[in-house]
Structure 1
């Protein structure tokens, strides 16, 4: 299909994971307008459905939950097109450090029937709350809603403020993104949980055909960005520390844990089926309702 002359509008989370995308744009001429979404995957889903962006790179669980829920609007607004990060994401479980009730929390066990802060409904921070509750045995037919309350606090700074002023008892955020705030004593880490799936996917608006040449070119440029990222790790650390709030130590530790997909185009159905299965166990999705796993994927591996 012939490419449009209009650059793709690509949404991303402005964290360390965005470094290969930055290289694709700065070093390999990715013809796209990059839109940062610090609020995360839930906000990007809203933007895809409203037509604000064409493509988004975000968390696996958020994108799959967004398509699998029974109240999905219209055609869902987007489809899974590519795989960005193959390693799991480590979520830090975080409480306040000041004088609020949250500061009395010292372990995951203290969170039973607590109030959880999330960036948005449908975001990774929201979905992983159910996964945590399922893991802890707190999600049962008698308690399908494991938390005392769910507070929408928009972004990381709002969540930090929320656990320190008593709005919420805890929240969950990516471990290395949280590192500087933990080091400064603004919040404390009481535990962690890993996603049981590859952590980042690429999705595209249903208004953008899978055969659009702009999408094909984007995948090639991101592949080049990933290769450059892997071959120039010192430059990656410098970028992460200068552009984002990370210490060199945290950036280097993260580099030891992460693996990006070398060929970004395409999504493995085993990944999608596995994520759907766990989200159903966690009560996020309901079998027989919402979009089926194979309907979610526009480009399969």
Structure 2
């Protein structure tokens, strides 16, 4: 049986992977797919793709594009979630900051450099006409637990993370959400190490077929809202709202979207150059 390692954030977006694994669908095809939770998000997954610790990552679009341009020997094989990610902008509940204007020039908590929380801080700064050189400061906090500690202790001032994942922390008074910042493109893609693509194309096709069959009808799964609510400790109303605004994809990311992401990252000085579509995307 072929062992394949895959990584992703332990969030509701990836429940389809859990369900297909639980049903033994990959093993039925001779593939031992091993899921690895990445609490540190995209930056941590980029590192593991580079080292070969994982073969596949369900990863933020902007983060993996930046890392492939920076030398990560991987390729995007398809879009996973078509809709934007809604990033909540959070401060500690007892913080003096009340609006996005108040956090200009303060310290953003980020999981690591090159992560989504890092890159989206630039998008938020641009949206609000901040000076990208003087109005952005960063404190590395590794993950959501680190963000809770960092904001509560005053080591950082604000934190950007997917708003439904952090909603329980807003509800219990740990964080206050002072704004939102949607990603300007499809939020999650599936990226695969180039070496794995070259040597295991048939297995990769099978894995993609299985997950795509599930995401195609994901919203029709009986009581899926209750399953998500129970598994991820979220209010049923929040889950229903999230499901209503989220669409999965079974398609290869298009050239226009890749151009848009690169244009934005280049403008923000996050990447130093643009590369051809074929350098970033492999069609399976």
TM over 0.5: yes
Q: Spell out, residue by residue over 1:194-229, the C-alpha distance to the aligned partner (whole angstroms, 9 max, x if none).
A: 111011100001221256111100110001221341
- TM-fit CA distance, 1:135: 1.2
- Residue of structure 1 in register with 2:78 after alignment: 82
**Stretches of structure 2 lacking an aligned partner (at least 5 in a row):** none
Q: Is 1:245 the equivalent of 2:229?
A: no
**3-state SS of the aligned residue for 1:8?**
strand
- Residue of structure 1 in register with 2:278 after alignment: 294
- Residue of structure 1 in register with 2:90 after alignment: 94
Q: Distance in 2 between matches of 1:293 and 1:281?
A: 18
- Residue of structure 1 in register with 2:109 after alignment: 117
Q: Distance in 2 between matches of 1:199 and 1:154?
A: 20
Runs of 4 or more, structure 1, over 4 Å off, are none
Q: Distance in 1 between matches of 2:204 and 2:57?
A: 12
Q: Is 1:43 the equivalent of 2:44?
A: yes
- Residue of structure 2 in register with 1:284 after alignment: 270
Counterpart selection for 2:245 from 241, 257, 261 = 257
- TM-fit CA distance, 1:77: 2.4
- TM-fit CA distance, 1:146: 3.2
Q: Spell out, residue by residue over 1:41-80, the C-alpha distance to the aligned partner (whole angstroms, 9 max, x if none).
A: 1111101111100000011111112123xxx24xx22111
- Residue of structure 1 in register with 2:220 after alignment: 231
Q: Distance in 1 between matches of 2:105 and 2:222?
A: 42
Q: Distance in 2 between matches of 1:207 and 1:279?
A: 27
Tell me, yes or no, if the aligned pair for 1:95 and 1:105 is still in contact at 8 Å.
Answer: yes
- TM-fit CA distance, 1:117: 0.4
- TM-fit CA distance, 1:120: 1.1
Tell me, yes or no, if the aligned pair for 1:116 and 1:168 is still in contact at 8 Å.
Answer: yes
Tell me, yes or no, if the aligned pair for 2:105 and 2:134 is still in contact at 8 Å.
Answer: no
Count matched residues. 278
Q: Distance in 2 between matches of 1:90 and 1:250?
A: 13
- TM-fit CA distance, 1:156: 0.7
- Residue of structure 1 in register with 2:59 after alignment: 58
RMSD: 1.7
Q: Distance in 1 between matches of 2:190 and 2:5?
A: 13
**3-state SS of the aligned residue for 1:193?**
strand
Q: Distance in 1 between matches of 2:134 and 2:147?
A: 20
**Stretches of structure 1 lacking an aligned partner (at least 5 in a row):** none
Counterpart selection for 2:194 from 206, 218, 228 = 206
Tell me, yes or no, if the aligned pair for 2:219 and 2:243 is still in contact at 8 Å.
Answer: no
- Residue of structure 1 in register with 2:119 after alignment: 127
Give the TM-score of the pair, scaled to structure 1. Answer: 0.87
- Residue of structure 2 in register with 1:162 after alignment: 150
Tell me, yes or no, if the aligned pair for 1:39 and 1:119 is still in contact at 8 Å.
Answer: yes
Q: Distance in 2 between matches of 1:238 and 1:65?
A: 36
Tell me, yes or no, if the aligned pair for 1:116 and 1:171 is still in contact at 8 Å.
Answer: yes
**3-state SS of the aligned residue for 1:34?**
strand
